[in-house]
Amino acid sequence: MKNPFYKGLIKYNGEYFKGKHTPIISDELWALANQRIKEKLPGHQFIPRQKEYAYLLSGLLKCGYCGSHYIATSCVSHGTRHYYYNCGRAKQKIGCDNTKSIKARQLDAALLEYFKRASQDRTLIAKAIGKALIEAKEHYDEADRAYADSAAKLAQLQAEGQRMLDLAVNGDIQRGPSYKAKLAKLETAITEQEKEAEKLKQTRDEHGMMAYAGEHITENIEYALANFDKAQPETQRNLLRALIKDIRLFDDKAEISLYLIDGKLTNTPEQGTEPQTGKNTGSEGQENNGKKGKKITPRIDGGLNNSETMFVSRQMWLPGQDSNLQPIG
């Protein structure tokens, strides 16, 4: 009704002109209707539609009891829409008693604060990737020692071969069948040792790439987390999916499993990272104490990794899973 088109006007180049169409309302009635709208009389109130909330952790949360994904839900109370995460199986009533509704805004904010603190403390990031990098450096040291031993043996064989050639050139030894057989055997040993040394060198270099990538990884994570709040919601979700494999929620803790380097570390962890969490509190600030059916507002405290977990990665283009642990798409 606010559009002047209804009273016979059209807009062109920022100005209104009388159109050729037949008005469906008079100027007086149009003005009266708009006056009533402005007065916000009952039945004429226009409430701006709230924008949908960007569930930053959607697809990452899993129930710690049944293993299914949490789903994003919402409801309206007293004119305000509230957003929650719920266990998919419990919501569908197909085999899980974890009926808690977790406030999405509080959980998202807690996790973002958790990572933001990590970006300001390199030791926290180092803890998150430290064990894997330590093991990679240990593998590198072992491979380096093996290569050094092989290279030393190769140098000895080459020196022996050169010595025999020098003796033959100087006439200090006869070039008979015995000499030729010994020289052929030595050449074969040198060839085999060269192959072994080259293979060990490649293995050492591969472990070295892993072992000394930690500083670059730390710097990249620092930068991304420090500028996280400046990014658009879709970018924030993509970053979280690049860092986090999954988050398993229990009554009194959250286990966070992080990716490290794609395609390098393949040991499957027995459990995810277990931050030192405080007790979950109910929607009114009271402790939940593990009771079912109450809305909880979780808090995430402590360092990124206080466990002995080996973080691993997967192919990032693989589809996710739905609440029934089946591939999406």
pLDDT per residue, tens digit, the chain (329 aa), is: 678 878 788 887 778 888 888 888 888 888 888 777 776 655 545 555 556 788 989 899 999 999 999 999 999 888 888 999 999 999 988 889 998 899 999 999 888 888 777 666 656 566 656 666 677 778 888 989 999 999 999 999 999 988 888 888 887 777 788 888 888 898 999 999 999 999 999 888 877 776 666 556 666 666 777 777 777 888 788 878 877 889 999 988 888 887 754 333 323 333 333 333 333 333 333 333 334 433 333 334 433 333 333 333 333 333 455 555 555 54
Alpha carbon separation from 164 to 142, 167, 198, 234 (Å, rounded): 34, 5, 25, 71
**pLDDT, tens only, 275-317:** 333 333 333 333 333 344 333 333 344 333 333 333 333 333 3
144/86 Cα distance (integer angstroms):
50
Closest by CA position to 70, among listed 115, 103, 43 = 103
Q: What is the pLDDT at residue 234?
A: 80
194/200 Cα distance (integer angstroms):
10
The Cβ of residue 159 has, within 10 Å, a number of other Cβ atoms equal to 10
120: amino acid identity, one letter = Q
Q: What is the pLDDT at residue 62?
A: 94
DSSP state of 327: B
Q: Which residues contact 290 (CB under 8 A, 6 or more apart)?
A: 251, 252
Q: What is the pLDDT at residue 213?
A: 63
Q: What is the pLDDT at residue 183?
A: 86
Q: What is the pLDDT at residue 129?
A: 61
Q: Which residues of 285-310 are buried (b: 16+ CB within 10 A; e: fewer)?
A: eeebeeeeebbbbbbbeebbbeeebe
Output the pTM of the full model. Answer: 0.43
